[in-house]
């Protein structure tokens, strides 16, 4: 794929602007209002005192601590240090989020259409904010995008590493393997030795991180959490249905409209979101749409075909396995 210098400059400006906008929204709504509560929660995770599943979501507090230590010579006050550390972290996360999404979209679309995809993602992000400790869901989206970029750049051998590290943030990163399987089905490579090894390695990497965290912090049963999530989703089904009709249905409709002309990867990935949604119902609170960002990534990437007459890269070339 060839980039013009003017295109790269335009895209980078948009990425930086969207990074600043999203960071400011998240900082104002999540980080700044209750730093004392956040500090206490961060300390409970790192000391091993948090409940499941939060106990095992160690990446964000570790990164927050890292940046806090880094700036401590300049920002000594505990609260100000926390705010500054997470402001830095959120800048990095959102820049990576938009940059990687742009790289992914450019596999299929023109620069302008790819930027439209970024704008749609930016619209979704503030709508998905529901709690004071939610930045981890945006980090998860970064890992999903890293995995998708690696897949389409023929560097899928790094996918187990993405899973290994990503589990330290959220267990749900393992679902990136499903999107990889969708890609392999399209390319007719699912039963190749290399593909099987990578899928098996993703499962092993997941197991190492998943059980490693539980061996270190202690096994805490999640049965009560699952029951609570299901009961909450059923109890609040009316408000959840309204929320999803307002914020999810439009993307589903876009995908249905373009389904016939979509490449197989998008068709398989879109259909796999049925399973993702079922797991979301069982393992999460469906009103917390930040956890649905991996699904948004697929639906936005597929749906913006409606605004683009042709892929930038010939579908035939993709089907032949080239990029």
| Dist CA 166 CA 269 (whole Å) | 20
| Dist CA 274 CA 294 (whole Å) | 13
Q: What is the pLDDT of residue 2?
A: 54
Q: What is the pLDDT of residue 51?
A: 87
Q: Beta-carbon neighbour count of residue 278 at 10 Å?
A: 10
Give yes or no for a contact between 135 and 168, defined as CB atoms under 8 angstroms apart: no
The closest alpha carbon to 95, from 28, 15, 153, 36, belongs to: 15
The closest alpha carbon to 21, from 158, 124, 152, 131, belongs to: 124
| Dist CA 309 CA 305 (whole Å) | 7
| Dist CA 308 CA 34 (whole Å) | 43
| Dist CA 53 CA 251 (whole Å) | 29
DSSP 309: S
Q: Beta-carbon neighbour count of residue 133 at 10 Å?
A: 18
Note if the bond before 53 is cis, omega within 30 degrees: yes
Structure token pair of residue 79:
């609260």
pLDDT tens over the chain, length 323 residues: 454 554 457 888 999 999 999 999 999 999 999 999 999 999 999 999 998 889 999 999 999 999 999 999 999 999 999 999 999 999 999 999 999 999 999 999 998 999 999 999 999 998 888 777 788 999 999 999 999 999 999 999 999 999 999 999 999 999 999 999 999 999 999 999 999 999 999 999 999 999 999 999 998 877 767 888 899 999 999 999 999 999 999 999 999 999 999 999 999 999 999 999 999 999 888 999 999 999 999 999 999 998 876 544 444 444 434 43
Q: What is the pTM of this model?
A: 0.91
| Dist CA 153 CA 148 (whole Å) | 9
Displacement of CA 7 from its chain's centroid (Å): 26
Phi, psi for residue 133 in degrees, rounded to 5: -130, 40
């Amino acid at each position: 794929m060839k980039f013009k210098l003017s295109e790269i400059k335009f895209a980078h400006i948009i990425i930086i602007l969207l990074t600043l906008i999203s960071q400011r929204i998240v900082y104002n709504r999540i980080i700044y209002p209750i730093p004392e509560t956040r500090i206490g929660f961060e300390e409970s995770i790192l000391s091993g005192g948090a409940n499941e599943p939060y106990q095992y979501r160690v990446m964000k507090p570790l990164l927050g601590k890292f940046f806090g230590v880094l700036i401590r010579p300049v920002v000594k006050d505990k609260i100000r240090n926390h705010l500054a550390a997470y402001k830095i972290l959120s800048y990095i996360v959102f820049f990576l989020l938009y940059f990687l999404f742009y790289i992914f979209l450019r596999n299929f679309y023109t620069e302008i259409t790819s930027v439209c995809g970024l704008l749609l993602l930016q619209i979704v992000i503030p709508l998905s904010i529901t709690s004071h400790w939610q930045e981890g869901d945006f980090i998860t989206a970064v890992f999903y995008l890293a995995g998708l970029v690696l897949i389409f750049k023929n560097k899928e051998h790094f996918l187990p590493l993405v899973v290994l590290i990503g589990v330290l943030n959220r267990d749900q990163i393992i679902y990136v393997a499903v999107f990889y399987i969708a890609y392999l089905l399209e390319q007719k490579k699912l039963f190749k030795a290399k593909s099987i090894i990578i899928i098996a390695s993703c499962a092993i990497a997941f197991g190492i991180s998943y059980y490693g965290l539980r061996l270190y912090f202690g096994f805490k049963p999640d049965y009560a959490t699952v029951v609570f999530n299901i009961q909450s989703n059923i109890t609040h089904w009316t408000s959840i249905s309204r929320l999803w009709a307002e914020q999810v249905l439009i993307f589903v409709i876009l995908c249905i409209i373009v389904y016939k002309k979509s490449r197989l990867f998008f068709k398989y990935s879109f259909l796999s979101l049925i399973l993702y949604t079922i797991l979301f119902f069982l393992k999460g609170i469906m009103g917390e749409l930040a956890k649905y960002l991996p699904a948004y990534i697929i639906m936005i990437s597929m749906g913006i075909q409606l605004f683009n007459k042709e892929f930038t890269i010939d579908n035939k070339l993709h089907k032949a396995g080239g990029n």
